[in-house]
């Protein structure tokens, strides 16, 4: 059986017989779309960029295993956010390696904005990923400059026309590389009335030169607190007109459900069992009950300090009645590079959980590799500790707002590499 006959997003026929699962391991994003407001901890809102929790690669594999046991019709495992797969390449590749090792017959695919995918295309092919979806909203840089608030590439943040130009360059390069290696490629395009709606047929004509396999035109949703929260969604007649024009150049996907980043099961069918499984597998498991906790706080009341800016950490230990502060422990000095985080991991060898308001990708990788569970969250320290005492995860766990360090941080905003 060809893989397309098992992929519900690439085959409308398959959508009636095969299911999919999205594994929410990609927290960060390398762009900010003006129509997007990414969230976590939101089980009742169904749209891309939303997930009720974030998973580690190991948790994602457990979510996949238990979900397939519940519904064996799941034939596709995908990474679709809530950020971008290649703003989180380590988590993405680790998850894909696990899928291939433990579920060798599972169809693996992913979604990306295309900005950071190019260095990893060979890795994807080696891991047996055959389907890739790219979100491309225009080929006119002037139009694109209205779509993106900023683009982060090569440790530099671009805005306006410069952001649009580098985005377009990397997306076209990704299309060429993916198709040259035999990937099945779908392009998602968000229809923004008054911005790109009249341009979409021209975009489809251009994409046809790359011989893409599907184009999916998605009406914009009004997302509260996004830059485009006042843009009216396109009418049904306008969407019909756009799809008809696009179909002259490329095949059109007509059955998209605009799935969440933690969606599972059959398209269009809501099965609450999957959310129950997700909640169970994402719950931290601590040996011997509640963990010892280190917290980065500016004044000792809130979790509100970026790890790179913390000169000390508050250490809390559990008691039968709850947590009590045991000590305050100095962090390592700046300027040591990776050794700063290696030494900090050693200093926290008696601690199981670290709560911070933000953390760069390198310290996060090093600390987690040493067995420390690092959570980005905000809120009252007492409330977060109450959650942990119940052997649960922090109450206001959220996805990292990528590159937000730099607003109150004395560093360069590049992830606290030193």
Q: pLDDT per residue over 113-138, tens digit each? A: 999 999 999 999 999 999 999 999 99
Distance CA 112, CA 132 (A): 8
- Check residue 280 and give its pLDDT: 83
For the chain, residues classed under CATH 3.20.20.70 are 3-282
Q: What percent of the chain has pLDDT over 90?
A: 45
User: What is the distance between the alpha carbons of residues 335 and 325, in angstroms, rounded to a whole number?
Assistant: 29
What tens digit of pLDDT does each residue of 213-224 get?
999 999 887 666
Three-state DSSP class for residue 120: helix
Give 265's strand partners: 20
pLDDT band at 373 (very low <50, low <70, confident <90, very high): confident
Within 8 A by CB and 6+ apart from 262, the residues are 22, 23, 24, 51, 52, 53, 274, 275, 278
Q: Per-residue pLDDT for 65 more than 90?
A: yes
Q: What three-state secondary structure class fits 230?
A: coil
pLDDT beyond 70 at 31? yes
Q: Does 286 score more than 70 pLDDT?
A: no
Taking only the tens place, the pLDDT of each residue in 87-109 is 889 889 999 999 999 999 999 99
The whole model's pTM is what?
0.69
Task: Please report, rounded to a whole number, the percentage of residues in the chain having pLDDT higher than 70.
Answer: 82
When mean pLDDT is compared across 26-35, 176-185, 282-291, 332-341, the lowest value belongs to: 282-291
Burial class, 66, CB count within 10 angstroms (exposed 0-12 / middle 13-18 / buried 19+): middle
Q: Are 131 and 11 a contacting pair, CB within 8 Å?
A: no
Six-digit token pair at 348? 């926290």
Residue 376: predicted pLDDT? 87
The CA distance from 257 to 16, in Å, is: 13
By three-state DSSP, how is residue 174 classified? helix
pLDDT at residue 401 in the model: 37
Asked whether the predicted pLDDT for residue 2 surpasses 60, the reply is no
Cα separation, 12 vs 7, in Å, equals 9
Whole-number pLDDT of residue 39: 53
Mean per-residue pLDDT, 267-287: 76
Note whether 220 and 228 are within 8 A (CB): yes
pLDDT, mean over the chain: 83
Q: Is the pLDDT of residue 296 over 90?
A: yes
The per-residue pLDDT for 403 is: 35
Helical segments of 103-208, H only: 121-126, 141-147, 160-180, 200-208
Query: What's the pLDDT at 93?
Result: 93
Q: Cα 67 from chain centroid?
A: 20
Greatest mean pLDDT among 42-46, 49-53, 409-413: 49-53
Tokens of 150: 């900023």
d(C-alpha 215, C-alpha 60), whole Å: 28
Res 34: pLDDT: 85
CATH class of this structure's domain 3-282: alpha beta
CA distances from 57 to 44, 67, 98, 282, 314 (A): 24, 15, 8, 11, 29
Please give the pLDDT value at position 38. Answer: 56
Contact 149/159 with Cβ under 8 angstroms?
A: yes
Q: How far apart are CA 137 and CA 144, in angstroms?
A: 7
- Alpha-carbon distance of 208 to 215, in angstroms, equals 10
Q: Say how many C-beta atoms besides its own lie within 10 A of residue 98's C-beta.
A: 19
| pLDDT bucket at 378, cuts 50 / 70 / 90 | confident
The pLDDT of residue 51: 75
In which band, very low, low, confident or very high, does the pLDDT at 226 lie, cut at 50, 70 and 90?
Answer: low
DSSP-assigned states of every residue in 340-408 = HHHHHHHHTTT--EEEESB--HHHHHHHHHTT-EEEE--EEHHHHHHHHHTT---TT-----TT-TTSS
pLDDT reading at 86 higher than 60? yes
Taken as a whole, the chain contains a residue count of: 418
Q: Which fold has domain 293-389?
A: Nucleotidyltransferase; domain 5 (3.30.420)
Q: Is the pLDDT of residue 72 over 80?
A: yes
Using the structure block, give the residue that is written with the tokens 């099965």: 271
- The Cα–Cα gap between 369 and 331 comes to 18
- For residues 330-351, give the mean pLDDT: 90
What residues does CATH 3.30.420.130 cover in the chain?
Answer: 293-389
Structure tokens at 197: 């709606």
DSSP 181: T
> What is the rounded distance in angstroms from the CA atom of residue 92 to the CA atom of residue 297?
30
CA distance 34 to 39: 15
Q: What is the pLDDT of residue 82?
A: 85
Residue 265 scores a pLDDT above 80: no
pLDDT digits (tens, 9 = 90+) for 197-215: 999 999 999 999 999 999 9
Side-by-side strand order, sheet with 373-376: 322-330, 312-319, 293-295, 353-356, 373-376
Q: Is the model's pLDDT at 351 over the cut of 50?
A: yes
pLDDT of residue 147: 92
In the predicted structure, residue 161 carries a pLDDT above the cut 90: yes
Does residue 389 register a pLDDT over 90? no
- Helix residue ranges, H only, 82-149: 89-102, 121-126, 141-147
């Amino acid at each position: 059986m060809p893989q397309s006959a098992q992929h519900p997003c690439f085959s409308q026929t398959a959508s009636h017989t095969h299911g999919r699962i999205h594994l929410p391991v990609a927290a960060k994003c390398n762009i900010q779309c003006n129509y997007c407001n990414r969230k976590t901890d939101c089980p009742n809102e169904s749209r891309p960029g939303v997930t009720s929790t974030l998973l580690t690669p190991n948790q994602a594999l457990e979510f996949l295993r238990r979900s397939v046991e519940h519904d064996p019709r799941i034939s596709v495992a995908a990474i679709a956010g809530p950020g971008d797969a290649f703003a989180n390449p380590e988590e993405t590749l680790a998850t894909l390696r696990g899928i291939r090792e433990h579920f060798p017959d599972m169809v693996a695919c992913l979604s990306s904005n295309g900005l950071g995918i190019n260095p990893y295309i060979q890795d994807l092919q080696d891991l047996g990923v055959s389907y890739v979806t790219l979100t491309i909203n225009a080929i006119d840089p002037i139009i694109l400059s209205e779509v993106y608030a900023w683009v982060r590439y090569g440790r530099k943040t671009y805005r306006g026309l410069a952001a649009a130009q580098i985005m377009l360059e990397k997306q076209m390069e990704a299309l060429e590389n993916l198709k040259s290696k035999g990937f099945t490629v779908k392009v998602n395009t968000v229809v923004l009335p008054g911005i790109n709606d009249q341009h979409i047929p021209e975009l489809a004509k251009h994409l046809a030169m790359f011989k893409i396999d599907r184009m999916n035109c998605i009406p914009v949703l009004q997302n509260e607190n996004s830059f485009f929260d006042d843009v009216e969604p396109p009418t049904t007649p306008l969407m019909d007109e756009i799809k008809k024009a696009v179909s002259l150049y490329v095949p059109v996907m007509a059955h998209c459900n605009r799935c969440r980043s933690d969606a599972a099961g059959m398209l269009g069918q809501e099965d609450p069992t999957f959310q129950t499984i997700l909640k169970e597998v994402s719950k931290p498991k601590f040996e011997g009950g509640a963990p010892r906790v280190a917290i980065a706080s500016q004044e000792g009341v809130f979790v509100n300090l970026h790890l790179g800016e913390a000169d000390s950490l508050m250490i809390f230990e559990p008691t039968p009645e709850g947590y009590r502060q045991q000590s305050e422990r100095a962090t390592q000095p700046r300027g040591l590079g990776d050794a700063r985080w290696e030494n900090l991991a050693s200093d926290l060898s008696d601690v199981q959980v670290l709560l911070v308001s933000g953390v760069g990708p390198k310290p996060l990788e090093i600390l987690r590799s040493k067995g420390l569970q690092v959570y980005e969250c905000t809120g009252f320290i007492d409330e977060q500790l109450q959650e942990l005492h119940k052997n649960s995860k922090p109450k206001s766990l959220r996805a990292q707002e990528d590159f937000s360090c730099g607003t109150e941080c004395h560093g360069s905003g590049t992830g606290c590499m030193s």
